[in-house]
Structure 1
């Protein structure tokens, strides 16, 4: 039962950033489509872009995607699935001399 609960919590930790990224994408899409829709309405004289909604969506999207991307990257690094360019390197130039 304990492993089932742990796996459920792990899935939630991955699903929540995915939902945040999805909501951010929808905010950006809605801001862009609203702007394009207003261009087709001849009765409007002043057309403005909703920068606040778009920026909020961009931040949410980038935060969610970066969390998921980082999780996948560090999981693959731990399992050895990544190329040698991204593997951890140990500093070979460390001196073993002690300061007297």
Structure 2
């Protein structure tokens, strides 16, 4: 069941990013969709949706790889140091 939930957590951002790409493509083709009042707002909304979905997926993969120790040394978590000051 947990794997299914994890899969759904990755599918939803993919769908959101895909819808953002569709909005940007429709704007380039000069096709205004219903809820958007102008092409500029439609493109901006598509760009925001694309970046949000893409960054969620990237962050998820980065977090998983960092947890499993598969990232470069500069991205590894540093142990917390007690500051005597």
Give the TM-score, by structure 2 length. 0.83
Matches within 5 A, 1:62-81: 62-81=51-70
Q: Deviations along 1:40-65, whole A, 9 cap, x unmatched?
A: xxxxxxxxx71011001011001100
The answer to whether 1:14 aligns with 2:10 is yes
Structure 2 unaligned residues grouped into runs of 5+: 32-37
Matches within 5 A, 1:22-41: 22-34=18-30
Report the alpha carbon displacement of residue 32 of structure 1 after superposing the two structures with TM: 1.1
Distance 1:90 1:7 in 2: 30
Report the alpha carbon displacement of residue 91 of structure 1 after superposing the two structures with TM: 4.0
Look at both structures and tell me which one has the larger radius of gyration over its CA atoms. Answer: 1
Structure 1 unaligned residues grouped into runs of 5+: 36-48
Distance 1:79 1:7 in 2: 17
Question: Number of aligned pairs?
Answer: 79
